[in-house]
């Protein structure tokens, strides 16, 4: 484990205008329910003990990467043993703070699978409010009683300039919750927030992708989309036109690069004004064309090796990190 000191980490975060929150796993196990719609979960020969302790060790590597890269972060401990997926902190909440939301906004997200509804983190909400001065905390988990979900930043992509939410509607992201989030953001910001439903279906997997981020990502100055899993080329062109109108270059990645995580990066910033892209190590296998595109927009790339969390959990580094703008 790295030499974690909270004051030092918070100072780093303030200088870099963002803090990354992570949840240390203590009882990580793959979900049999999630296998029904997460085709990234691979067959394996690990024992339960190897999975639990392997996940802990991989998370220590993540902390070491953050610490050595001078990226401010806050680590919480998984507290409910049955909440095996708690370490995927990007799904259970969304943190927003910018010119539209200067007081800070935390969205507590409704989850689709019952076992993931245990991932409510009062200690995190309290810390965000009292330490980072996030004043508006909105709990949408009441939608769970209706079987409706909105799984955090994995399903909800934000274009801050055009004030648009891009969401692929699946069982993990219900239109009613999307509509409610846009309504709340409009009310709190005093600006009109819209949403755009991204229609996707992966013919090779014979199912839609459960999270929008698995095939699309919006970064600060660019966006990456795999058009092959959208319903048609016209739909891709519509999305591309909207994002370009917002000043972003849109890169169309191949299906192979999507499978290698081309959309699963976390953008980070440093005090000196440079930015970088954090990725799972399997993302290093993208094509040279995609690498060249990333090179134009990100000064550094940081890779995390985490085969158990990735292959067994059907996830990526992006799932492990909750970005908290300051």
Please provide the average confidence, as pLDDT, over all residues in the chain: 93
What mean pLDDT comes out for the span 189-216?
Answer: 94
Which range is least confidently modeled, 2-6, 133-137, 211-215, 302-306? 2-6
- The answer to the question of residue 1 being in a domain is no
pLDDT digits 0-9 by tens, 260-301: 999 999 999 998 889 999 999 999 999 999 999 999 999 999
State which residues form the domain around 218: 6-325
pLDDT of residue 33: 67
Closest to 92 in 3D by CA, of 150, 42, 43: 150
Higher pLDDT, 40 or 144: 144
- The answer to the question of residue 124 being in a domain is yes
pLDDT digits 0-9 by tens, 219-245: 999 999 999 999 999 999 999 999 999
| 40, pLDDT greater than 90 | no
Give the span between the Cα atoms of 44 and 50, in whole angstroms.
Answer: 11
Number of domains in the chain: 1
- The answer to the question of residue 131 being in a domain is yes
pLDDT of residue 35: 67
| 87, pLDDT greater than 70 | yes
Closest to 78 in 3D by CA, of 28, 35, 37: 28
pLDDT of residue 262: 96
pLDDT of residue 224: 98
CA-to-CA dists, residue 4 to 65, 74, 157, angstroms: 12, 9, 31
- The answer to the question of residue 259 being in a domain is yes
pLDDT of residue 79: 86
CATH (domain of 39):
3.75.10.10
- The answer to the question of residue 184 being in a domain is yes
What mean pLDDT comes out for the span 127-153?
Answer: 97
| 184, pLDDT greater than 90 | yes
């Amino acid at each position: 484990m790295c030499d974690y000191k909270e004051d030092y980490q918070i100072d780093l975060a303030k200088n870099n205008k963002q803090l990354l929150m992570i949840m240390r796993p203590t009882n990580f196990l793959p979900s049999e329910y999630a296998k029904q719609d997460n085709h990234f979960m691979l067959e394996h020969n690990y024992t339960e003990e190897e999975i639990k302790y392997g996940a802990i060790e991989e998370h220590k590597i993540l902390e070491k990467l953050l610490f050595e890269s001078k990226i401010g972060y806050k680590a919480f401990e998984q507290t409910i043993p049955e909440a095996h997926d708690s370490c995927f902190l990007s799904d259970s909440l969304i943190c927003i703070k910018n010119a539209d939301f200067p007081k800070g906004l935390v969205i507590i997200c409704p989850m689709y699978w019952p076992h993931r509804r245990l991932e409510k983190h009062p200690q995190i909400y309290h810390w965000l409010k009292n330490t980072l001065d996030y004043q508006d905390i909105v709990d949408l988990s009441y939608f769970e009683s209706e079987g409706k979900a909105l799984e955090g930043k994995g399903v909800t992509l934000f274009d801050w300039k055009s004030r648009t939410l891009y969401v692929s509607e699946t069982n993990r992201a219900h239109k009613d919750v999307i509509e409610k989030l846009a309504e709340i953001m409009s009310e709190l910001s005093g600006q009109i927030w819209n949403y755009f439903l991204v229609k996707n279906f992966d013919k090779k997997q014979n199912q839609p992708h459960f999270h929008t981020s698995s095939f699309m990502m919006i970064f600060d100055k660019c966006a990456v989309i795999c058009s092959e899993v959208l319903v048609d080329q016209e739909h891709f062109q519509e999305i591309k036109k909207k994002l370009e109108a917002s000043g972003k270059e849109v890169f169309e990645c191949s299906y192979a690069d999507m499978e290698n995580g081309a959309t699963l990066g976390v953008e980070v910033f440093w005090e000196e004004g440079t930015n970088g892209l954090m990725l799972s190590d399997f993302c290093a296998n993208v094509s040279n064309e995609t690498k060249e595109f990333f090179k134009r927009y990100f000064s550094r790339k940081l890779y995390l090796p985490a085969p158990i969390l990735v292959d067994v959990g059907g996830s990526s580094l992006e799932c492990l990190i909750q970005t908290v703008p300051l």
